[in-house]
């Protein structure tokens, strides 16, 4: 039976109207509201909290957030009142991280929240916040006082791009290139900890700003590169670094649910074995759902999950590894060169395709025996589709409707012999205005005993303001 206003609506059939002559007592009204809330929860499907969609707080979660605030003494209480101008502490999205990270247990979430407030007092984090508050959004290590020094020992790219569907931030961590023994010797773990704290606070502010902007819980997607890692690497053998990791993890746990995915790339055989043997038994179930392992073919598997800027970061990292292994000697790859490729080595020449580019032309000559040659256009895409949850992600197939980055084979990989002489080619950028990365691969990986030679030249044709074509030389 419904209760309506005692005014008849002439646009509807005559309806028997009941005018209430009583009011419900407070306890009855509360019972009815609780029943309605329960019905709403039962009728609406519960969102996938571990999925990349990472929706804003539901009605039930908003009620839990209210309960957390009450347990903390309210916004005007002594715990929260000092943080009314700190969105990363006081905003609903900040509370939402605790709820989802602690499986919606209000008491546990409130306890960990209090632990973080205590940590802020112990380590003077509010003073650190004042120092990093105006750090630019897409910051890197140079935005922090000791950042460049720390990157000599513990390199990583803090903002390597964004998830093309939901806006999560990608962070690239080349663990195999890090040297904690040298870090410990100079400048030491204390200085490194202070640097990490500054970046952590800046990241917290950044994630909160983006969460409010996108109206979803924005998190980190970590791309952890195990290339170069071995059983003798410092990350495996350095006990002092392992202890530092444990202490740092305790701090991070006072700000839960900051990470959406862990993508491990260049995973060696022993890494897979250790994860399958020990990792799945020791990691929490929710963490396991966020982990994906990829081998050396990670680029193809990750295409639908990353944008072009992230791909550029991974390509540059691959080049740094080649220099470290003695396969290459130059930090920048010229667009015109004559080189000798060692047995098993290769070179990738990358051209950033911008909106005003018309075409790319090239000439290639095998000067010693033969080389493998191919051209791929990694195209920035904004098509439909979306990412989902869990560790079952295997990458998207090549599809012009996918999001992220699509792969077009401009020149299928082929063997060029020195008997063939010079070959030429041209690619007209289509559609006009398309952007991305064009990668020229010159490879001697098919030869494990002999070095081979190649000479190449690449030209970029750019549209000028008067619509004439102009040849430019560009490096990534």
What is the CATH number for 358? 2.60.120.680
Sheet holding 291-293, edge to edge: 157-162, 169-174, 220-225, 259-265, 291-293
Q: What span, in angstroms and rounded, lies between the C-alpha atoms of 110 and 418? A: 70
Total number of domains constituting the chain: 2
User: Where does 72-104 have alpha helices with state H?
Assistant: 87-90, 92-101
Q: Write phi, then psi, for 305 (nearest 5 degrees).
A: -110, -5
- pLDDT for 387 equals 36
Residue 18 pLDDT exceeds 50: no
- What's the CA gap between 393 and 396, in Å, rounded? 8
Residues 349 and 282 in one domain: no
Decide which of 89 and 334 is more confident: 89
Of 207, 106, 225, 99, give the one whose Cα is nearest residue 163: 207
261, 365: one domain: no
Indicate whether 12 pLDDT > 70. Answer: no
Same-domain check for residues 227 and 284: yes
- Averaged pLDDT, 235-240: 86
Check whether residue 141 and residue 256 sit in a common domain. Answer: yes
284-291 long-range Cβ contacts below 8 angstroms, 24+ apart: 286/50, 286/103, 288/391, 289/50, 289/389, 289/390, 289/391, 290/50, 290/259, 290/260, 290/261, 290/262, 290/390, 290/391, 291/261, 291/262, 291/264, 291/391
Domain for residue 19, yes or no?
A: no
Structure token pair of residue 39: 């019905």
Residue 176 lies in a domain: yes
Q: Does residue 338 share a domain with residue 282?
A: no
Tens digits of residue pLDDT in 289-338: 899 999 888 888 888 788 888 888 888 877 665 545 555 545 578 899 99
- Local confidence band at 103 (pLDDT 50, 70, 90 cut-offs): very high
Highest averaged pLDDT of the listed ranges 41-50, 345-354, 391-400 = 345-354
Q: Is residue 393 part of a domain?
A: no
310 within a domain of the structure (yes/no): no
Last residue in a domain, options 296, 324, 342: 296
Same domain? 145 vs 284:
yes
Most confident listed range (112-116, 388-392, 467-471) = 112-116
Residue where a domain stops, chosen among 248, 274, 296 = 296
Same domain? For 151 and 86 the reply is yes
Phi/psi of residue 391, nearest 5 degrees: -85, 15
Q: For residues 441 and 452, what is the distance between their CA atoms, to the nearest angstrom? A: 14
Does residue 36 lie in a domain region? no
> Do 48 and 159 belong together in one domain?
yes
Same domain membership, residue 136 and residue 69:
yes
Comparing 299 with 461, the larger pLDDT belongs to 461
Q: Is residue 209 part of a domain?
A: yes
In a shared domain, residues 357 and 267: no
The verdict on 268 and 339 lying in the same domain is no
Nearest to 458 by CA among 445, 444, 474: 474
Q: Residue 282: what pLDDT?
A: 77
Q: What is the pLDDT of residue 392?
A: 36
C-alpha pair distances (Å), 103 with each of 98, 186, 286, 432: 8, 41, 10, 49
Give residue-wise pLDDT tens across range 384-431.
433 333 333 333 333 334 556 888 999 999 999 988 889 999 999 988
Q: List the domain range (segments joined by +) for residue 181.
A: 44-296
When the pLDDT of each residue in the chain is averaged and rounded to a whole number, the result is: 82
Residue 303 is assigned to a structural domain of this protein: no
Q: Which residue has the higher pLDDT, 277 or 117?
A: 117
Give the confidence band of 280 by pLDDT, cuts at 50, 70, 90: confident
The CATH number of whichever domain residue 131 belongs to comes to: 3.40.525.10
SS3 assignment, position 174: strand
Half-sphere exposure of 302 (CA within 13 A, CB side): 31
Q: Cα–chain-centroid distance for residue 53? A: 14
The Cβ-side half-sphere exposure at 230, using a 13 Å CA radius, reads 3
Report whether 202 contacts 220 (CB < 8 A): no
Residue 333 tokens, joined? 């790859």
Domain end position, chosen among 296, 311, 345: 296
Asked if residue 39 is part of any domain, the answer here is no
In a 13 Å sphere around the CA of 203, the CA atoms on its Cβ side amount to 23
Is the pLDDT assigned to residue 11 strictly greater than 80?
A: no
Are residues 354 and 285 both part of a single domain?
A: no
Quote the tokens at residue 55.
């929706």
Alpha helices in 340-410 (DSSP H): none
């Amino acid at each position: 039976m419904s209760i309506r206003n005692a005014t008849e609506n002439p646009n509807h059939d005559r309806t028997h109207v009941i005018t209430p002559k009583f009011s419900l007592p407070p306890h009855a009204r509360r019972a009815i509201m609780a029943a309605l809330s329960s019905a709403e929860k039962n009728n609406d499907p519960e969102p996938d909290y571990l999925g990349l969609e990472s929706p804003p707080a539901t009605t039930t979660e908003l009620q839990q957030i209210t309960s957390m605030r009450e347990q903390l003494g309210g916004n005007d209480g002594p715990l929260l009142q000092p943080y009314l101008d700190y969105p990363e502490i006081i905003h609903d999205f900040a509370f939402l991280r605790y709820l989802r990270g602690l499986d919606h247990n209000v008491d546990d979430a409130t306890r960990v929240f209090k632990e973080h407030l205590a940590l802020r007092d112990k380590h003077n984090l509010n003073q650190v916040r004042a120092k990093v508050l105006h750090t630019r959004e897409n910051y890197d290590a140079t935005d922090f006082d000791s950042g460049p020094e720390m990157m000599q020992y513990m390199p990583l790219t803090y903002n390597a791009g964004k998830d093309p569907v939901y806006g999560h931030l990608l962070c690239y961590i080349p663990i195999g290139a890090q040297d904690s023994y040298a870090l410990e010797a100079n400048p030491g773990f204390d200085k490194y900890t202070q640097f990490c704290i500054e970046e952590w606070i800046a990241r917290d502010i950044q994630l909160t700003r983006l969460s409010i902007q996108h109206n979803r819980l924005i998190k980190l997607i970590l791309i952890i590169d195990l290339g170069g890692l071995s059983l003798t690497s410092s990350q495996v053998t350095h006990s002092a670094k392992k202890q530092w990791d444990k202490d740092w993890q305790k701090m991070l746990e006072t700000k839960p649910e900051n990470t959406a995915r862990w993508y491990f790339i260049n995973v060696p055989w022993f890494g897979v074995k250790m994860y399958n043997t020990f990792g799945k038994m020791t990691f929490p179930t929710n963490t396991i759902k966020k982990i994906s392992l990829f081998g050396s073919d990670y680029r193809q598997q990750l295409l639908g999950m990353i944008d072009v800027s992230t791909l550029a970061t991974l390509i540059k990292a691959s080049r740094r590894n080649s220099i470290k292994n003695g396969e290459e000697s130059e930090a920048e790859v010229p667009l015109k060169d004559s080189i000798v490729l060692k047995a098993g080595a290769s070179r990738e020449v990358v051209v950033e395709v911008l909106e005003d580019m018309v075409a790319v032309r090239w000439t290639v000559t095998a000067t010693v025996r033969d080389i493998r040659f191919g051209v791929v256009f990694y195209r920035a895409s904004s098509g439909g589709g979306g990412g989902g949850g869990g560790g079952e992600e295997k990458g998207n197939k090549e599809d012009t409707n996918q999001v992220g980055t699509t792969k077009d084979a401009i020149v299928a990989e082929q063997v060029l012999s020195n008997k063939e002489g010079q070959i030429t080619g041209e690619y007209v950028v289509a559609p006009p205005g398309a952007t991305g990365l064009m990668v020229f691969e010159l490879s001697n990986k098919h030869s494990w005993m002999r070095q081979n030679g190649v000479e190449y030249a690449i030209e970029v044709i750019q549209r000028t303001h008067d619509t004439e074509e102009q040849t430019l030389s560009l490096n990534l």
